Structure 1
């Protein structure tokens, strides 16, 4: 009702912004983070010099409302207004006593992202503003981001067409050449290449080599065949006979 009455006097565009007090626990948490800005920005400052402006310039390129806010800051500088009247004060919750680094920019490798969710709150206020016990302001923009992990455990699967009524005819079992704890891509490629080359060699039939110059050089591939066990052969009928039958076997005579 108060805001409606004010709009009747000041116009429909008038907006009342209430002021409210924070609970003790939240005020303490916010105060700890507010007063630890130097620790929060120590890593980012070493990397970028002025991390607040670096973050602001990057966010303004992809966020429309942040671009408007950046323009406001630039216009203040153009009109030579007091710069300290509108500074960028980052706050990160929950507050931590150790490994407290600003996640809005690249952070140290020791930072544990899975420990808890993090709220990054950036206040645009006078640089002399102390940790607030009462809050009153306008929300310019908000968004949610997911920071990707540097390492992920992945799996690879292949989809291909094959007759549904037939089971796979061949399984290729590959073991790493060295037990280093993880796979090397070149090991998999070399194993597959060697398997395909060996399969082509083993797929050669004797008839394909019988009339070739290599026939006399490949005793492991071509060998005599006989039904009678009086010569060295790869396979013959004697292999399937009982031992007593072989002992009493008499070769045929011409």
Structure 2
């Protein structure tokens, strides 16, 4: 069986109201999230070619305050890849959870990569709703014009040990990436959440809510159901902006 190690690389941060992560909860609480790319390194039988999930911010704020808030170091794209002896031109495959700007700003640097995107994201980035200002088509125009994007409309295996599942929670075309690791199946969520979304405090569970939907949703009811669905798929849950991964070399 093909398996991979998952290495989180912090390529930016955002500081905002925590309710942007946790729907209807934690309003008025300042919160800092890390923005990741996830490097998949073959552990056994997997593709030896470099694979990334998302590409992060192009010009991240690198400050002591922000690094203290997330508990880890913030890298530029070239710095983060260099930790593993890689350059952007080495990347063979990028799988996008979605196309909000903070997940795709370094795409144009990956000139030799194939990009996996859900077709709903490919459409929406060129025709965003006014509420969804996070889509910025400039960041994907180069790879689109170069024919590097492969748009999908259904769940499928991308490579042995790597599968994508359509999870329209945070965006219409969100893709959750299922990765077989030596310690079980990991799910890198196709929607922007933290651990608290999957493990709510007692006051939320007392309301008979198993999870808290993302703060930004397409349909809040469907988002809730998608979170339950993803949780059942995974041995290892990787919420897309969970801060604790910023201090990890490899997800355990």
Is TM-score (shorter-chain normalized) higher than 0.5? no
More strand by share: 2
Considering Cα pairs closer than 8 Å and 6+ residues apart, tell me whether 1 or 2 has the greater RCO: 2
Query: Which has the larger share of helix?
Result: 1
The structure with the largest alpha-carbon Rg is: 1
**TM-score, normalising length: structure 2:** 0.20
**TM-score in terms of structure 1 length:** 0.20
